[in-house]
Structure 1
């Protein structure tokens, strides 16, 4: 037969203290915020730049914004978008 173990308040308090001590250790690292993706889809670029689909198409066609086509999807390098925004800022 299986034995039944009861958890007391004291057990929970001890667990809490151990957990807090572990979280306070310098070697513990909290999860980082989501890092920027290297490649963005068209809708992400439009949202980031606040532009319409036609404007994005114009940037592609005139060579202002390089892109990569994979199947039916178009991807843009985040670094290229960042460079475009910096160039427009100057």
Structure 2
């Protein structure tokens, strides 16, 4: 005998799925924060891109928009760990 799926079944499934997605996002945010909170005060571009899994263009946009503080030393960009934590805690 076949079971029929009701609208209520779909609604409950949707709620469970949304809850799982929210938990995944929250866990990823905790992982990023944990990686950034290491003892290093300033981090290089490559480290930031790997930690946050973002492209160079996204990092450049954050820099240009003034959302994160940076320093350029001999052609390399360095970012303040503190600013990244503030950005992701918002």
Higher helix share: 2
Equivalenced residues, count: 53
Matches within 5 A, 1:41-56: 41-56=44-59
TM-score when scaled to structure 2?
0.55
Which one scores higher on RCO, CA 8 angstroms, separation ≥ 6?
2
Structure 1-normalised TM-score? 0.55
Question: Matches of 1:84 and 1:48 in 2, distance apart?
Answer: 14
Unaligned runs of 5+ in 2: 1-37
Higher Cα Rg, which structure: 1
CA RMSD of aligned residues (A): 1.0
Unaligned ranges ≥5, structure 1:
1-34
2:43 matched residue in structure 1: 40
